[in-house]
């Protein structure tokens, strides 16, 4: 049997962009450093050579105007991909997201659209500290009209990015830094993942675990530790709002236990909203739902504190033991 | 009378009359339940520009947008219906005056207005990308120009060589705060030169002069694909917002208001044409005034008989994809087999 092709998360994103650019000549990439040294964690490597400087080009440090440039281009039927090396720089662009991009389709009563993608690198790195390690996905998901995507693995990243680029709605595509070197089998042909379709990731009977982005991998590691003693029915949310709840509700009818795992602050989080939706649905739980998130604090740089700040698979195992009332 | 003079006067009068009628009919009927920023006194820009707009051009405007909307051949029926919150409105009744837009005529505006200034970059970029000979008009005021995004936008417009005509209508007030309380410079165009953008200051109430200038500037932009900045010194006769007037707050002196009222481009131009063409002009004016008034009456009748907007939630998302998306990949795990391959390596 032929060995299946493995790609890293970064290679998958690279391939998705190249394939999107082949599928539609209106797709282009811009941002600061997209064609320089690191090539955005190698995700834009080789694109200029394959296409031209018309399709991928450098920009000044002007996040606000860059975002409106993407908006204006998208309104004129191009499909821009704007890249920020850190999501923290997107704070400059609050006006563009809140007052323009997210409400563009709405205020035209659907006559205008904004098919753009803003890629931003989020999360944990080597002592990145309070201005370089945020995730902010829940903040973006508060806005109607915007779709916030956080992929969890290479194959997911490829399908979700292709769909994000080809979606006629604006998408914020958040890439967790620590995932860039993870490897997985990724099909070669272009494929699309429906934005809003929650992925059933692991089959289990004891606890419904909902995660997104890097937390999916952490949950899988926790399942490895639990072996067969506690099994997770694991779901990857993929999209932070406007997802279909049916698969999760069906699972909860079986397990009656909910554990949410999220790399981000807990208050007003995607998990909080998910729990609220589940409670509103009336599905009965046997235990109160549990949420594992970052503490309500900015991210410390100092290494021991940083280790303390982030949760890992052991925190998930502990929570699972409590929920399932089983000791591993 | 030459054709261009007829068009120019017609546009000036049309924009003024529409505003007057909206103001007159706003209260006590209260059928138009949205804030409005009138542009009476500031018609010279849109009126002079209107002759040089081509169907593929786009305008991104500030919130004082009625003049530019009409100059860009926006439908008066749809504009008045929009103010009434009707589904036949140009935004389907969901935006009102402050964010008046029209997808088919490429007209967009907003009240957090410097964002529209920035969006002109992408609009113009798409024209270059698609090799079109169209241009983008970006309209802003002296207040909006103080936002940081404008500095970024000007730099990128010249860096990427984008065909944009930036028009800054300097009416000296940001709501009620005068320019000299906000900046050391009194002319926005002074500080544009530093970006290496060609800039012009227009300080006159002669519509024909502005017409000639805009003729040159628009054709130059189409040819060179480079941005040009034009500052027009102007004055708003009405209050900042609404038909009520706000001069009782005494934020601007009576002497200043009287001076500008005397310089009203519509009044001055009318006098000039009257003097030059006499009865010919009078006949022309009577005819277009009659047409304009009828058109306004028809637009209000259209708005009143239209239905209110009924739906809104579904418009937040298009929920559609590019034609290349024919089916979706289902990778809900095939349990027990291939599990290894689907598992990312630990980091």
What is the count of structural domains for chain B? 1
CA distance A267 to A316: 19
Domain ranges of chain A: 6-185, 199-324
The pLDDT assigned to B337 comes to 42
pLDDT of B312 over the 70 cut: yes
Nearest CA distance, B73 vs chain A (angstrom): 18
CB-nearest partner of A108 from B91, B115, B346: B91
Right CATH number for A6-185 from 3.40.718.10, 3.40.50.970, 1.10.287.3510, 2.70.180.20? 3.40.50.970
Q: Show pLDDT as tens, one digit a residue, over chain A (328 residues).
A: 567 889 999 999 999 999 999 999 999 999 999 999 999 999 999 999 999 999 999 999 999 999 999 999 999 999 999 999 999 999 999 999 999 999 999 999 999 999 999 999 999 888 889 999 999 999 999 999 999 999 999 999 999 999 999 999 999 999 999 999 899 889 999 999 999 999 999 999 999 999 999 999 999 999 999 999 999 999 999 999 999 999 999 999 999 999 999 999 999 999 999 999 999 999 999 999 999 999 999 999 999 999 999 999 999 999 999 999 999 8
Put simply, the chain A residues between 253 and 292 with a CB less than 8 A from any chain B CB are none
Residue contact B333–A201, C-beta within 8 A: yes
| B213 in reach of chain A (CB within 8 A) | no
Domain assignment present for residue B340? The answer is no
Q: Using alpha carbons, select from B38, B69, B44, B39 the residue that is nearest to residue B230.
A: B44
Nearest CA distance, B157 vs chain A (angstrom): 10
Instruction: Show the tokens assigned to A72.
Output: 């204006």
The terminus-to-terminus CA distance of chain A in angstroms comes to 37
The pLDDT assigned to A126 comes to 84
The pLDDT assigned to B338 comes to 45
Residue B112 CB coordination number (10 Å): 17
The pLDDT assigned to A4 comes to 80
CA distance B67 to B86: 21
Cβ atoms A287, A307 nearer than 8 A: no
pLDDT of B93 over the 60 cut: yes
CA distance A112 to A104: 7
The pLDDT assigned to B204 comes to 97
Nearest CA distance, A197 vs chain B (angstrom): 9
Establish how many alpha carbons lie within 13 A of residue A170's alpha carbon, considering only the half-sphere containing its beta carbon: 31
The pLDDT assigned to B344 comes to 63
Nearest CA distance, B288 vs chain A (angstrom): 32
pLDDT of B123 over the 80 cut: yes
pLDDT of B151 over the 50 cut: yes
CA distance B171 to B254: 15
The domain that holds B33 is classified in CATH as 3.40.50.970
Residue A81 has phi, psi (to 5 degrees) of -120, 110
pLDDT of B336 over the 50 cut: no
Nearest CA distance, B132 vs chain A (angstrom): 12
Fold agreement (A6-185, A199-324): yes
CA distance A191 to A19: 10
Instruction: Show the tokens assigned to A104.
Output: 């563009």
In terms of Cβ atoms closer than 10 Å to its own Cβ (0-12, 13-18, 19+), residue B86 is: buried
List CB contacts of A327: < 8 A, sequence separation 6 or more: A321
Domain assignment present for residue B14? The answer is yes
In terms of Cβ atoms closer than 10 Å to its own Cβ (0-12, 13-18, 19+), residue B199 is: buried
CA distance A191 to A243: 19
What does DSSP assign to residue B240?
A: S
Domain range for residue B49? Answer: 3-321
Q: How many residues does chain A have?
A: 328
Residues in A closer than 8 angstroms to B119, CB to CB, are 68-69, 71-72, 75, 100
pLDDT of B347 over the 50 cut: no
The terminus-to-terminus CA distance of chain B in angstroms comes to 78
Residues in A closer than 8 angstroms to B107, CB to CB, are none
Domain assignment present for residue B146? The answer is yes
CA distance A104 to A71: 9
CB-nearest partner of A96 from B87, B115, B156: B115
Residue A249 CB coordination number (10 Å): 15
The pLDDT assigned to B343 comes to 62
| B335 in reach of chain A (CB within 8 A) | yes
Residues in A closer than 8 angstroms to B103, CB to CB, are 108, 111-112
Span B25-43, mean pLDDT? Answer: 97
* Shortest CA distance from A154: residue in chain B: B344
ipTM of the complex: 0.96
pLDDT range class, residue B346, cuts 50, 70, 90? low
Put simply, the chain A residues between 79 and 108 with a CB less than 8 A from any chain B CB are 79-80, 95-96, 99-100, 103, 105-108
List CB contacts of A263: < 8 A, sequence separation 6 or more: A123, A124, A135, A176, A213, A214, A215, A293, A294, A310
What's the predicted TM-score (pTM) here? 0.96
CA distance A201 to A199: 6
B129-158 in b/e form (b: 16+ CB < 10 A) is beeeebbbbbbbbbbbbebebbbbbbbbbb
Number of inter-chain CB pairs under 8 A, A vs B: 216
pLDDT of B331 over the 90 cut: no
The pLDDT assigned to A57 comes to 98
Residue contact B60–A72, C-beta within 8 A: yes
What is the CATH code of the structural domain delimited by A199-324? 3.40.50.920
Identify the H or E element spanning B280: helix B279-305
pLDDT of B66 over the 80 cut: yes
pLDDT range class, residue B261, cuts 50, 70, 90? very high
CA distance A110 to A89: 30
Residue contact B108–A75, C-beta within 8 A: yes
Establish how many alpha carbons lie within 13 A of residue A248's alpha carbon, considering only the half-sphere containing its beta carbon: 27
CA distance B235 to B263: 10
Residue contact A154–B344, C-beta within 8 A: yes
């Amino acid at each position: 049997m032929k060995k299946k092709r493995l790609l890293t998360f970064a290679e998958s994103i690279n391939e998705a962009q190249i394939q999107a650019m082949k599928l539609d000549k209106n797709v282009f990439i811009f941002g600061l450093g997209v064609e320089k040294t690191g090539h955005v964690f190698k995700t834009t490597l080789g694109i200029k050579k394959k296409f031209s400087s018309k399709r991928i080009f450098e920009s000044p440090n002007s996040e606000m105007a860059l975002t409106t440039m993407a908006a204006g281009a998208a309104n004129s039927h191009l499909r821009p991909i704007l890249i920020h090396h850190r999501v923290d720089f997107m704070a400059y662009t609050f006006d563009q997201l809140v007052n323009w991009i997210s409400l563009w389709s709405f205020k035209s009563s659907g006559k205008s659209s904004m098919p753009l993608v803003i890629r931003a690198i989020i999360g944990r790195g080597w002592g990145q500290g309070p201005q370089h390690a945020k995730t902010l996905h829940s903040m973006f998901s508060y806005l109607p009209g915007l779709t916030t995507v956080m992929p969890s693995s290479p194959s997911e990243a490829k399908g979700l990015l292709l769909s994000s680029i080809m979606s006629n709605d604006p998408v914020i595509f958040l890439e967790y830094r620590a995932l860039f070197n993870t490897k997985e089998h990724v099909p070669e042909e272009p494929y699309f993942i429906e934005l809003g379709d929650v992925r059933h990731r692991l089959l289990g009977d004891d606890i419904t675990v909902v995660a997104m982005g890097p937390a999916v991998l952490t949950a899988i590691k926790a399942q490895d530790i639990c072996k067969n003693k506690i099994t997770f029915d694991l779901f990857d949310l993929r999209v932070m709002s406007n997802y279909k709840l049916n698969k999760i509700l069906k699972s909860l009818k079986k397990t009656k236990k909910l554990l949410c795992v999220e790399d981000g602050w807990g208050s007003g989080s995607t998990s909080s909203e998910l729990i609220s939706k589940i409670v509103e649905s009336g599905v009965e739980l046997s235990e109160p739902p549990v949420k594992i998130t970052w503490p309500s604090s900015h991210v410390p740089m100092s290494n021991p504190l940083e280790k303390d700040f982030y949760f890992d698979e052991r925190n998930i195992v502990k929570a699972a033991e409590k929920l399932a009332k089983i000791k591993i | 009378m030459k054709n261009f003079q007829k068009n120019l006067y017609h546009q000036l009068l049309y924009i003024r009359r529409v505003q007057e009628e909206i103001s007159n009919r706003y209260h006590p009927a209260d059928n138009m339940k949205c804030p409005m920023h009138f542009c009476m006194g500031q018609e010279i820009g849109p009126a002079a520009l209107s002759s040089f707009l081509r169907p593929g051009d786009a305008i991104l405007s500030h919130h004082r947008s009625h003049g530019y909307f009409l100059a860009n051949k926006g439908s008066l029926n749809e504009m008045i219906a929009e103010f009434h919150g009707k589904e036949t409105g140009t935004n389907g009744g969901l935006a009102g005056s402050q964010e008046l837009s029209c997808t088919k005529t490429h007209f967009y505006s907003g009240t957090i207005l410097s964002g529209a200034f920035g969006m002109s970059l992408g609009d113009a970029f798409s024209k270059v990308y698609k090799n079109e000979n169209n241009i983008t008009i970006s309209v802003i005021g002296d207040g909006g120009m103080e936002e940081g995004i404008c500095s970024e936008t000007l730099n990128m417009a010249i860096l990427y060589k984008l065909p944009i005509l930036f028009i800054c209508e300097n009416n000296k007030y940001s709501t009620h705060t005068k320019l000299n309380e906000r900046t050391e410079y009194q002319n926005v165009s002074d500080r544009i030169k530093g970006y290496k953008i060609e800039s012009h200051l227009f300080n006159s109430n002669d519509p024909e002069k502005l017409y000639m200038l805009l003729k040159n500037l628009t054709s130059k932009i189409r040819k060179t694909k480079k941005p040009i900045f034009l500052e027009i010194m102007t004055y708003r006769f009405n209050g900042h917002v609404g038909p009520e007037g706000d001069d009782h707050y005494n934020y601007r002196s009576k002497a200043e208001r009287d001076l500008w009222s005397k310089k009203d481009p519509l009044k001055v131009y009318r006098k000039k044409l009257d003097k030059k063409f006499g009865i010919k002009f009078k006949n022309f004016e009577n005819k277009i005034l009659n047409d304009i008034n009828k058109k306004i009456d028809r637009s209000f009748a259209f708005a009143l008989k239209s239905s209110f907007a009924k739906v809104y939630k579904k418009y937040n998302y298009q929920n559609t994809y590019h034609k290349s998306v024919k089916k979706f990949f289902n990778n809900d795990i095939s349990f027990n087999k291939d599990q290894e391959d689907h598992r990312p390596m630990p980091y």
